A and B are shown apart, each in its own frame.
Chain A
Amino acid sequence: MAWFKRSEKNISTENPKHDVPDGMWIKCDECGEMMHKKQWEANSYTCIKCGYHFRIGSEEYFSLLFDEGSFKEYDRKMKSVDTLKFTDSKPYDKRIEETIKKTELYDALRWGTGEINKLPAVICAMDFAFIGGSMGSVLGEKISRAIDKCLKNRTPLIIISSSGGARMMEGGISLMQLAKISTRLAKLADEKIPYISLITNPTTGGASASFAMQGDLNIAEPNALIGFAGPRVIKQATGKDLPKGFQRSDFVLEHGFLDLIVDRKNMKEKLAQLLNLLAK
């Protein structure tokens, strides 16, 4: 009776909690390979054996993509305000303070200017470690200011996404950040300044339904989870098993929503190549 037998194992949406592991030896989450931290870093934080892309944060992306010494950060200490006085298991303002202490980050996105192979660029990079890369007012305001910088200096924009969606603790205000960012990006598009969306694992909900999918070019890292609804929600809503590779980079490219998939090791060169093509 095959009809009640599951052909695939249950899909898993559990991602490892750590972003950049401590200690000198790193174990690959995918294939179990052990590598030395130095090896792993030199390999752009991907597995030396299977190429698995570990989740990394804004700090790592800035150092991977910008030329050494060119990065200048803005609005580093911009923080959330608990306007709604939102309390679930703990008050939102307390959650923010604890997360700041734990992650040494001030919000789920940082931005700055720098050069990529001598080409000036503005990069916004998200940190999934900060409340699941959730998008609130700070993220909306930081991206808006980054776009203003692009408009002022006619500099290309790159946004590196890694997000579970809008931040519930800011209610409707967080939803409006999608609108706020979109109206700014429309202006950037009208001025014909390039915007490259670099999508990393995972990018779902509000991020994917706004800036992550609004690039002139949408680029993903290999095997990133990219979608509107998360796999668990879809499974629950439809009661269906999800196809193999569902919502992963290859799947999203095959369905026509990505321009290309680029290995993290080649990302800087590829971005420089594209920015050059658009500039000349």
Chain B
Amino acid sequence: MALEFEKPILDLEQKIDEMRKMSDSLDISDEINRLESKVNELRRNVFDNLTPWQIVQLARHPNRPYTLDYIYLMTENFVELHGDRNFRDDKAVVGGFATLGDQTVMLIGQQKGRDTKSNLYRNFGMMNPEGYRKALRLMKLAEKFDKPVITLLDTPGAYPGIEAEERGQAEAIARNLIEMSRLKVPMIVVVIGEGASGGALGIGIGDRILMLKYCWYSVISPESCSSILWRSWDFKEQAADALKLTANDLLKLGIIDRIVDEPSGGAHRNHQEAAHMLKAALLEELDTVSKIKKDKLLDNRIKKFEKMGFWKD
């Protein structure tokens, strides 16, 4: 699958591939070099000038690496742990201990599926209350054994279902927000795809908030914002602009701490390289936050969020 604005780049790349195959019998290396510099320039042009809506599309790219891809590519010894010990194992969120660098960490993240079948299994990455409770159970487990927590955010939202309401979707998220505020271990949050509102924030409080370059994070999706404020689904591009939901915007607003670069053309073009880049950033951040004393860590966490907001007295 290719997005509209990716097509010219992919077409040119394909042409270069074809020419390479011919280059055994023909001397066309000059021509190949020329096309390669052309495709690099084209890619740079497109990706340096992405609109917020194009970034939203990249964040949702079906070939994008998901939580489990990152976990397997970045860590060793991953043992997935299941269930909230109460109701059920929510497949829209995964978590477990793993070795990152040379230490044990708890990794938790929303998980999307790649095709219809796996998307139904994963509920499109939309968590139910038992998912938030499972995530909290794993965070508490990490706290008990003094292991840092890393959460990976990638969800179109918390699931808006009848049963989700019956089992207290609001309470489950609300409880996580309080408990994450005072979890006595370092916590690093990374937006790896879509960060949709309370559903994302429900596993999204931490000491450092990172965001991959082509992701969005906001209070509502551009589509829903369009339908509520413009009373039509047709203003999603305007809504994406207005919401200031890109990594660059959020860094300026002080909502995130760091942008993690992605491979040229986006994380979906090279999972290995994307994971490598994220791993390097995570090791740096872990090293920094691990040095902070426990009581100071919690004070800093409160102060971090205290500063967020703009008002006139």
Contacts and interface: CB of A to CB of B under 8 A. Distances in A.
A69 interface: no
Interface size bracket, B side = 35 or more
Interface in B222-240: 225, 228-230, 238-239
Given A140-B309, A180-B308, A229-B165, A214 B230 contact: no
B182 interface: yes
A181 to B, nearest CB: 8
A213 B170 contact: yes
B309 A208 contact: no
B205 interface: yes
Interface in A208-256: 208-214, 226-229, 233-234, 237-238, 240, 242-243, 246-247, 255-256
B154 to A, nearest CB: 16
Interface size bracket, A side = 35 or more
B178 A214 contact: yes
Interface string B63-97: 00000000000000000000000000000000000
A175 B160 contact: no
Interface in B154-182: 158, 160-162, 164-171, 173-175, 177-182
B178 A182 contact: yes
Given A86-B242, A171-B244, A176 B170 contact: no
Interface stretch (B26-34, B195-203, B268-276): B195-203
A180 B180 CA distance: 12
Interface stretch (A24-32, A52-60, A74-82, A263-271): A74-82
Contacts of A75: 313
Interface string B108-143: 000000000000000000000000000000000000
B145 interface: no
Interface stretch (B4-12, B15-23, B212-220): B212-220
A141 interface: yes
A171 B168 contact: no
A193 B169 CA distance: 26
Given A178-B177, A183-B301, A238-B161, A171 B219 contact: yes
Given A171-B218, A214-B178, A209 B305 contact: no
B39 interface: no
Contacts of B166: 255
Interface string A23-42: 00000000000000000000
B46 interface: no
A75 B313 CA distance: 7
Nearest to B179: A186
A134 B218 CA distance: 15
Contacts of B217: 172
B160 A182 contact: no
12 contacts: A81-B310, A137-B310, A138-B309, A167-B219, A176-B305, A178-B177, A185-B178, A186-B181, A213-B168, A228-B170, A238-B161, A257-B170
Interface of A: 75, 77-81, 83-84, 86-89, 136-138, 140-141, 144, 166-168, 170-180, 182-187, 189-190, 204-206, 208-214, 226-229, 233-234, 237-238, 240, 242-243, 246-247, 255-257
Given A89-B229, A176-B308, A182-B177, 14 more contacts: A78-B312, A80-B310, A83-B310, A140-B308, A175-B219, A179-B308, A180-B306, A183-B205, A186-B302, A204-B170, A208-B174, A213-B170, A229-B164, A242-B162
Interface of B: 158, 160-162, 164-171, 173-175, 177-182, 197-198, 201-202, 204-205, 217-220, 225, 228-230, 238-239, 242-245, 249-250, 253, 255, 301-302, 305-306, 308-313
